[in-house]
């Protein structure tokens, strides 16, 4: 059982000068496949040219598309990406889109049940159809990785509670951790205290918090690991967190020492932020050079 399965939005990131394929599940799957992990995506596209191009791209990159449904009533998703002067991204997300209507069926349930790791986020819960499918799949999933990935206004305290209670591993950015901890009654201000609060409240054994240029903190069963970040000239932050997460999961499940796994994940995320788009080619020598 070495399957990896990602669930949720697949779409086109529309930049001022160009369009690129994206969506957190696609970005995580792309990076996992670069590590030669067998990976599939459960999602939906429209019966349109953009959907066909997206499926072809995934096929070309040896990502399993058998569980990406075609929807006759809704278009393939788009997101307008806005970059500020520092390269930080904000998003205007098309609604509704095909990925809001991911249907539950026997095939997707069996795929998740066979998968070693199931990766999901909060955004797919903005619609009743995909939310229902996700909640049902979480009942049969094994190692469940929740990439919080908040996109206002598409989340609620009730949904976050359900998703965190189901997760084995939760990844936040620093702002998400602070916001969610406060929503659930934490009086703490320190990152480590809030990570402990979330772990104790919801039962997740693994908690990771990314801190942008300041690196990341990883909690595994009461043991903390730290990386203080790597310096790079940022081009855009789109997909940096997704590559970070994929790298961290891949390394932890390869029995690489936890500190090294975190360091490599931070290096990967940094190099993506220093490149254009969510899925640039990253070479091993670039990782080693940055880490040294």
Q: Which tens digit of pLDDT belongs to each residue from 24-56? A: 999 999 999 999 999 999 999 999 999 999 999
Structural domain spans, the chain: 3-291
Percent of the chain at pLDDT exceeding 70: 99
Mind listing the pLDDT tens digit for each residue in 85-139? 887 878 889 999 999 999 999 999 999 999 999 999 999 999 999 999 999 999 9
Query: Which pLDDT score, from 0 to 100, does residue 44 have?
Result: 98
Residue 95 near residue 73 (C-beta atoms within 8 A):
no
Mean pLDDT of the chain, nearest integer? 95
Confidence of residue 276 (pLDDT cuts 50, 70, 90): confident
267 preceded by cis ω (within 30°)?
A: no
Q: What is the CATH number of domain 3-291?
A: 3.40.1190.20
With a CB cutoff of 8 Å and minimum separation 6, the contacts of 15 are: 81, 83, 277
- Tell me the pairing of strands 3-7 and 115-121: parallel
Q: What is the pLDDT of residues 142-179, one digit of tens each?
A: 999 999 999 999 999 999 999 999 999 999 999 999 99
pLDDT at residue number 81: 86
The pTM assigned to this predicted structure is: 0.95
pLDDT at residue 277 tops 80: no
pLDDT at position 2 over 70: no
pLDDT for the residue 209: 98
Is the pLDDT at 1 greater than 60? The verdict is: no
Q: What is the DSSP string of 219-268?
A: EETTEEEEE-------S--TTHHHHHHHHHHHHHTTT--HHHHHHHHHHH
Is residue 228 predicted with pLDDT exceeding 80? yes
Residue 62 clears pLDDT 80, i.e. is over it: yes
DSSP line for 116-175: EEEEEESGGGGSHHHHHHHHHHHTT-SEEEEE----TTS--HHHHHHHHHH-SEEEEEHH
Q: Which residue has the tokens 């979330």?
A: 198
Q: Give yes or no for residue 261 having a pLDDT over 60.
A: yes
Q: Under a CB-based contact definition with an 8 Å cutoff, are residues 173 and 88 in contact? A: no
**Mean pLDDT, range 224-245, rounded to an integer:** 93
């Amino acid at each position: 059982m070495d399957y990896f399965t990602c669930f949720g939005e697949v779409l086109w990131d529309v930049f001022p000068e160009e369009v690129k394929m994206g969506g957190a599940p696609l970005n995580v799957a792309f990076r996992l496949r670069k590590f030669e992990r067998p990976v599939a995506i459960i999602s939906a596209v429209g019966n349109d040219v953009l959907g066909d191009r997206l499926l072809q791209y995934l096929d070309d990159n040896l990502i399993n598309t058998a569980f990406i449904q075609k929807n006759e009533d809704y278009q393939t998703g788009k997101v307008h990406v806005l970059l500020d002067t520092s390269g930080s991204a904000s998003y205007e997300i098309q609604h509704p889109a095909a990925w809001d209507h991911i249907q539950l069926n026997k095939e997707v349930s069996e795929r998740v049940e066979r998968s070693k790791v199931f990766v999901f986020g909060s955004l797919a819960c903005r619609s009743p159809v995909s939310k229902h499918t996700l909640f049902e799949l979480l009942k049969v999933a094994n190692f469940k990785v929740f990439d919080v990935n908040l996109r206002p206004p598409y989340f609620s305290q009730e949904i976050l509670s359900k998703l965190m209670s189901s997760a084995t591993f939760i990844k936040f950015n620093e702002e998400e951790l602070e916001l969610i901890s406060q929503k659930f009654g934490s009086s703490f201000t320190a990152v480590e205290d809030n990570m402990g609060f979330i772990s104790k409240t919801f039962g997740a054994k693994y908690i990771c918090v990314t801190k942008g240029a300041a690196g990341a903190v990883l909690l595994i069963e009461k043991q903390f690991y730290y990386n203080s970040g790597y310096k790079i000239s940022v081009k855009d932050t789109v997909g940096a967190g997704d590559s970070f997460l994929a790298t961290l999961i891949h390394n932890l499940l390869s029995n690489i020492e936890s500190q090294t796994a975190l360091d490599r994940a931070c290096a990967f995320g940094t190099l993506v932020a220093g490149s254009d788009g969510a899925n640039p080619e990253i070479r091993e020598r670039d990782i080693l050079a940055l880490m040294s």
